[in-house]
Every structure is written in structure tokens, then in C-alpha cells.
């Protein structure tokens, strides 16, 4: 299997990086937004690279495309959000969607 394939291990690493972005204590919202956007941009780049990899099967590239879209949607929401609570809600939604795709990837026969 190519190391570019969707593996549960890679999904878990991606998920851990997503969870690290969450706000843990009150800080300057503008500074937090900037930091979250930078980290989400990095995650979006990873997802985009996998979605456009010629070494992955089409089904895997489609899953990575969905993840990239979720990450970009979350980043756009954060740019519009004004408080840490709303930002955390969007990041939690992203985490849930990545977990769903991880569960799909772990199902045998797909």
C-alpha cells in the first residue's frame, strides 16, 4: 500500500492536529483567530495534497476533498466569528466530520 493512502493512523494524526486548535482558555479573540486560521490553512494544504495525489484511488481522493472542503468552511466561519465559543463550536464540527470519515475509512471492503 502506498504511504499516500488514507490510513486510520494518518486520520488520527490529522484529528489530533485539529483538536489542538481548540481554544482552551480565554485569550485575545483576534490573536486566537489568526492562530487558528494559520493552523487550519496547514491542515487544508495537507488535505489538498492528498486529494490531488495521482497515487491515491479515486475514493480516497474524494474523501480528502471533502475534508479539505470542511477545513476551508471552518476557516471561513472562524473569520466571521467574533468569540471563542463560536470558534470552538466550528472546530468541534470539523472534528466530528473528520471522525466520521475516519470511521468510513476503517470499514472493511471500502
Mean pLDDT confidence for 58-78: 89
* Reported confidence tier of residue 1, pLDDT bands at 50, 70, 90: very low
CA distance 5 to 28: 39
Q: What pLDDT is recorded for position 52?
A: 94
Given a cut of 70, is residue 81 above it in pLDDT? no
* Reported confidence tier of residue 4, pLDDT bands at 50, 70, 90: very low
- The angle formed by the CA atoms of residues 20, 72 and 16, to the nearest 5 degrees, is 20
- Evaluate whether 48 touches 40 at the Cβ level (below 8 Å): no
Q: In the numeric block, which cell numbers belong to residue 35?
A: 492562530
Q: Could you identify the residue written with the cell 476533498? A: 65
* Reported confidence tier of residue 20, pLDDT bands at 50, 70, 90: confident
Given a cut of 90, is residue 24 above it in pLDDT? no
pTM for this entry: 0.63
Q: Mapping DSSP to helix (H, G, I), strand (E, B) and coil, where does residue 69 land?
A: helix
Q: Could you identify the residue written with the cell 466530520? A: 97
CA distance 33 to 84: 8
pLDDT: is 83 or 89 the higher one? 89
Amino acid at each position: 500500500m502506498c504511504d499516500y493512502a488514507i490510513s486510520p493512523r494518518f486520520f488520527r494524526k490529522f484529528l489530533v492536529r485539529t483538536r489542538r486548535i481548540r481554544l482552551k482558555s480565554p485569550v485575545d479573540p483576534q490573536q486566537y483567530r489568526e492562530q487558528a486560521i494559520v493552523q487550519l490553512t496547514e491542515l487544508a494544504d495537507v488535505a489538498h495534497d492528498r486529494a490531488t495525489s495521482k497515487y491515491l484511488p479515486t475514493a480516497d481522493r474524494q474523501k480528502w476533498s471533502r475534508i479539505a472542503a470542511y477545513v476551508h468552511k471552518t476557516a471561513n466561519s472562524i473569520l466571521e466569528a467574533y468569540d471563542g465559543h463560536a470558534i470552538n463550536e466550528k472546530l468541534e464540527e470539523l472534528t466530528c466530520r473528520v471522525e466520521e470519515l475516519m470511521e468510513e475509512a476503517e470499514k472493511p471492503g471500502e
